[in-house]
A and B are shown apart, each in its own frame.
Chain A
């Protein structure tokens, strides 16, 4: 099965830029989606198809994908951005085809 690896945690001060990596073999050839999950809540889609944002998601959230790493960038981090973040891909040649990353806890100091 396809494996997506994320750093366990990222800590930063308000106003800084968070960059959350998602590593996978040739992930640049796949579409990557990102979810934000706050404690006790369901995940929320924040970026889909590498770079697109659903309506209602602030422009501070952006994504990129190339080579073996996809990245979710959160600019001007706020206290309300503190959450777990998961990347996800669909890989037709993998079983299961829907794969989530290991998750990254973003802490705003």
Chain B
């Protein structure tokens, strides 16, 4: 059973860098079975895909965030991380880590962390 757990600061000031870590258990982060993914959800709004890192180190990001985001994988710690630069109030959201799995020439998200609320406020 795959389990994911987000950790990191819950309160940031505008212009700071958001840094979150997702600790993986139940599967090796070096497994090629999953794309290690971050998704966010502003309060009261819908889900937004941020990006993923794959076991070889390849990444793919949402173009709306691409200039500010970095997702990396640390297989020695079985973790993957999200960094988002120059945050504003618009980045206030619950951030989820999740696994994207390929199926029938598509991808879905089968395991999710519990989510962590990050608030950006001066």
A residues near B, CB below 8 A? 30-31, 33, 35, 41-45, 48-49, 54, 86, 88-90, 95-103
Name the one of A31, A43, A95 contacting B106, with C-beta atoms under 8 angstroms.
Answer: A31
- B residues with a Cβ closer than 8 A to A are 37, 46-49, 60, 62-64, 96, 100, 103-110, 112-115
Chain B contact residues: over half helix, strand or loop, or mixed?
strand
Q: Are B46 and A45 in contact (CB under 8 A)?
A: no
* Chain A residues with CB below 8 A from B115, complex form: 42
A87 to chain B, nearest CB (A): 10
**Contact of B110 with A45 in the complex, beta carbons under 8 Å:** yes
**Interface pairs A-B: 8 shortest CB-CB:** A31-B106, A33-B108, A98-B49, A42-B112, A100-B47, A90-B107, A96-B62, A90-B106
Identify which of A31, A54, A101 contacts B105 (C-beta below 8 A). A31
